[in-house]
Amino acid sequence: MSDALVPGDPERLGRYELIGRLGSGGMGQVYLGRSPGGRLVAVKTVHEHLAADPHFRERFRREAAAARSVTGVYTAPVVDADPDSPMPWLATAYLPGVTLRQAVVAAGPLGPGAVRALGGALAEALRSIHAAGLVHRDLKPSNLLVTGDGPRVIDFGIARLVSAHALTETGDIIGTPGYMAPEQITGDMQVTAAADVFALGAVLAYAASGRGPFGGGGAAALLYRVVHDEPDLIEVPEAGGLRELIAECLHKSPERRPGPVEVLRRTADRNPPLWWRAEPLRSLVSGVADAVPEPGPTVVVPTAVDESARDAARRAVRRRELTRRGLLLGGGGGLVALLAYAVGRTSGPAGERSTGPAWELKKGSTGPGALRWTLSAGSGTLDAMLVTAGGILLHGTEDSVSTDGTVQFRTTAGGARRWAVDSLAEAPTAWGVVDGVLTAGDLGLKALDLTTGKRRTPVEKGLLTPLWFTVSGSTLVTLSQDGSGENLLRGTSLKTGQRLWQRKEDDEWPRPAVAGDALLFTDGYDEQECVFADDGTVRWRYSGVGKGDQVAAVGALPPDRFAVLTTGRVLHLVDVRDGRRISARELEVPVAPGATAFARADNTGLLLSGERLYGLDPDAGTVRWSRPALGLDACWAPRPGGDRSPVLAGGHLLHWAADGRTLEALDPATGRQRWRRELGDGPAQCPPAVAGSTVYAAAGRKCTALRLSDGVPLRDDWTLDGTITGLAADASGWYARIGRGSVVAVNGIAAASRDR
């Protein structure tokens, strides 16, 4: 395959210059790219026919967002993505190394101590991936990168994304024979995180013996053996219980396999060997790192490692596998192996006043329904928008060279900038405003006073890495990691800015569910813990989740219930006050970890999972009604901390139907349709917005104003220059983000028009 871009291919995506094509696969093309600062990245684009599918685009959006939230030591997150681009793409940093398959082929099987250390690293990686609501589905030796800093799991979330689309469209099985769990092959049960544990066992067997546990041969033979035969582990050492552990991971029944936490416990070592730094692997990895092309006008693709690395490895005759593609991205397994993920993020000091060039502001008209102002990013980006009392918050980069992002607070009346601070150069997924305070821990910012942009929380001592934050009442609850790797759970008052409480945590808890002043934490398995937000004390613990089952989502339902939904489709309702189990029953609902959320609507519970919306009885835990829906990101609006909530107004539940073009108003209690309108010229990418008695809904490039009571269109001739990717409204009109290039403010329609 040629290194040059083929005619018609883009020369730039976002702020990345494309300097060579690396490969292609089921999802699209992969290019070698370069950031303005000279950082090499792999840019993965989506095929045109997939980009045209609103459901695939929705899945791409949430999988990329979830992958960016994975923070484990042995994983490497996505560094940038644009799911709203006409050609959706994501970028990952270049990480020099070789795959585990290449390492074993070139240097032979790993020793028992190294295999145990590898098992602990993979278990820790899976715990981080599962905590983000992802299931890898394609863990295998060619999706494990051995670098100078140790092993890294690549392609988490993306394999699930391809799998979800292919299974929907063709019924094919997606995965790698010999590493797929039996339930992935037979399709007779839900594929859960336990499938990744099966793959972990198969990978460790390969690392320890140099062969897969189900032998070789064609795909059909391998699939048959995985389902019907026991694994062949005769060459796996028994030392330290290694063979026993691998056999348990490879159990046919998902519920009989150990979880990642159990694997971590059984592979724990106070002084684990740094096996990737021992010869011959050290020279093998360093030989690849030395061959990394320096950023420049052209890409020089090496065809072999240097002579010293060749001599150090004992199997020189088999080193031909380190070909052009392997050297560039450490991949040998098709498209999924092309992506090597970075560990860190480049950023300047967060919270300092921005001095970069301003985005271009153009004034408009004050007439009803007229364009009030436009803010264009020029060579920068505008990737997030949040309308709040007194102004509009925007996030992006101010030019194509900047490695820092900027948060700006501007007036809604004229778009004038009131203050700006620097942030990490990533779009926020969890920011929000509570009591006049901006919470944006995902941007590396402390809580800021909305009026002045000044810090509202204490100055921290030492380096802290924020893992997540959430808001309960006026309390900001955060989990951070200090320089020594300790997890710190804290509560801070947003009213006074004072620290309320702090405690150290052994576990890296995922973000909790919030119900009033109560927070429900889960380890993803059988440990659920309720904590007071105002003082950090433990209120109660719930251990009703069955052994072997895993938690897919937690949330709050009316009037005072926590909801715990497992991957086995069992819904547990727990009393917020005392942890008493109210009900636990299996539901006939699809479970989509990372794309599932609960909410309240008067006396009805709501569940949006995958592409279906459900009304729940909050006492019996049964389904009252269900309807197809476009998906979580397009239907439910973001809230501070990363939660999402349905659009409820005037007694209506507003959501996009599965086609992405039809807006429905439902009775939340019964699911009965009150009105529906087909709108726009393309699939919706953001929830509708409500201001008073007017609903604004955007699909494609078109925005329509409708009367809330009956859905009658009040104005439908607003067509913008690009796809509307964000929408908000207030008493003076509506605001739209167009792609990542601009934001427009449009005046509301006249009162006479609304009343007609």
**Does a structural domain hold residue 346?**
no
The yes-or-no verdict on residue 751 having pLDDT over 70 is no
129 & 185 share domain: yes
Do 377 and 228 fall into the same domain? no
How does DSSP classify residue 28? -
Residue 607 within any structural domain of the chain: no
Residue 188 CB neighbour total at 10 angstroms: 7
199 lies in the same domain as 263: yes
Separation of alpha carbons 158 and 17, rounded Å: 23
Residue 178 domain flag:
yes
Domains: count for the chain: 2
Q: Is residue 586 part of a domain?
A: no
Q: Examine the fold and report which residue of 313, 338, 363 is the final residue of a domain before the chain moves on.
A: 338
Joined together, the tokens standing for residue 261 give: 């936490």
According to the model, what pLDDT value does residue 580 have? 95
Can the peptide bond before residue 293 be classed as cis, meaning omega within 30 degrees of 0? no
Please report the pLDDT score of residue 401 as a whole number.
57
Work out the pLDDT band at 13, boundaries 50, 70, 90: confident
Identify whether 528 is part of a domain: no
Give the C-alpha separation, 325 to 529, whole Å.
47
In terms of domains, do 90 and 234 share one? yes
The full DSSP string for 147-214 is ETTEEEE--TTHHHHHHHHHHHHT----S-TTTS-HHHHH-SS---THHHHHHHHHHHHHHHHSS-TT
Residue 421 lies in a domain: yes
Same domain as 397, residue 298: no
Q: Is the bond leading into 638 cis (omega within 30 degrees of zero)?
A: no
- pLDDT over threshold 50, residue 709: yes
Band of the pLDDT at 22, cuts 50, 70, 90? low
Instruction: Give residue 404's pLDDT band: very low, low, confident or very high (50, 70, 90).
Output: low
User: Can you point out the beta strands (E) in 337-463?
Assistant: 360-363, 371-376, 381-388, 391-397, 405-410, 417-423, 432-434, 437-439, 448-449
Name 390's Cβ contacts closer than 8 Å, sequence gap at least 6: 411, 450, 451
Measured N-to-C along each axis, helices 100-107 and 194-209 cross at an angle, to the nearest 10 degrees, of 20
pLDDT of residue 18: 85
Task: Specify the DSSP class assigned to residue 125.
Answer: H
* pLDDT at 376 (0 to 100): 94
**Torsion of Cα atoms, 43 then 46 then 47 then 48, to 10°:** -120
The answer to which of 278-282, 663-667, 698-702 has the lowest mean pLDDT is 278-282
Confidence at residue 338, expressed as pLDDT on a 0 to 100 scale: 24
Among 172-176, 178-182, 377-381, 534-538, name the one with the lowest average pLDDT: 172-176
In the predicted model, is pLDDT for residue 610 greater than 90? no
Check residues 102 and 594 and name the one with the higher pLDDT.
102
- For range 243-271, the mean pLDDT: 91
On whether residue 515 sits in a domain, the answer given is no
For the annotated catalytic residues, the residue numbers are 138
* pLDDT above 90 for 95: no
Confidence of residue 101 (pLDDT cuts 50, 70, 90): confident
Residues 668 and 697 in one domain: yes
The confidence band for 641, taking pLDDT boundaries of 50, 70 and 90, is: confident
**Contact criterion met (CB below 8 Å) for 426 and 347:** no
Q: What is the pLDDT of residue 288?
A: 64
Task: Return mean pLDDT, the chain.
Answer: 80
Percent with pLDDT over 70 in the chain: 80
Q: Please report which confidence band the pLDDT of residue 537 belongs to, taking 50, 70 and 90 as the band edges.
A: very high
Answer whether residue 170 shows pLDDT above 60: no
Check residue 41 and give its pLDDT. Answer: 80
What's the confidence (pLDDT) of residue 76? 67
**Digit-coded pLDDT (tens) for 477-531:** 998 877 666 889 999 998 888 899 999 987 778 889 999 999 999 987 778 999 9
pLDDT higher at 32 or 648:
648
Confidence of residue 64 (pLDDT cuts 50, 70, 90): confident
What's the Cα-to-Cα distance from 64 to each of 161, 334, 630, rounded to whole Å? 9, 20, 17
Q: pLDDT value at position 27?
A: 66
pLDDT tens, residue by residue, 448-463: 999 999 988 766 665 5
Answer whether 351's CB lies under 8 Å from 365's CB: no
* The domain boundary residue, chosen from 338, 371, 386: 338
Residues 365 and 316 in one domain: no
373 and 245 in a single domain? The answer is no
Higher pLDDT, 480 or 714: 714
Q: Average pLDDT of 142-168?
A: 65
Which range of residues forms the domain containing residue 117? 12-338
| pLDDT score of 483 | 65
Contact predicate 406/397, CB 8 Å: yes
Residues 122 and 160 in one domain: yes
Kindly report, residue by residue over 716-729, the tens digit of the pLDDT: 999 998 889 999 99
CB 599 within 8 A of CB 645: yes
pLDDT bucket at 24, cuts 50 / 70 / 90: low
pTM: 0.64
Is the pLDDT score of 430 beyond 90? no
pLDDT(349) > 70: no
Considering the domain architecture, whether residues 255 and 382 belong to the same structural domain is answered as no
Residue 593 neighbours by CB distance under 10 Å: 24
Check residue 541 and give its pLDDT. 94
pLDDT score of 648: 97
Q: How far is CA 680 from the centre of its chain?
A: 28
Segment among 77-81, 417-421, 564-568 with least mean pLDDT: 77-81
In a domain, 381, yes or no: yes
Lowest mean pLDDT among 294-303, 384-393, 436-445, 593-602: 294-303
Query: Could you tell me the pLDDT band of residue 713, with boundaries at 50, 70 and 90?
Result: very high
CATH number of the domain enclosing 267: 1.10.510.10
Domain final position from 278, 309, 338? 338
Domain match, 328 and 385 both: no
Residue 142: C-alpha distances to residues 187, 330, 395, 481, 506 (Å): 24, 8, 37, 31, 32
What would the mean pLDDT of 223-244 be, rounded to a whole number? 91
Q: Evaluate if residue 197 carries a pLDDT over 60.
A: yes
How much is the CA Rg of the chain, to the nearest whole Å? 26
pLDDT in tens, 286-330: 766 555 554 443 322 222 333 333 333 334 323 323 222 232 333
Strands 581-586 and 673-678, bridge-based pairing: unpaired
Q: Work out the average pLDDT over 365-384.
A: 91
Q: Are 581 and 572 in contact (CB under 8 A)?
A: yes
Q: Residue 77 — pLDDT band, cuts 50, 70, 90?
A: low
pLDDT, position 390: 86
**Residue predicted with more confidence, 753 or 666:** 666
Range with the poorest average pLDDT among 466-475, 565-574, 613-622? 466-475
Whether 334 and 365 share a structural domain: no
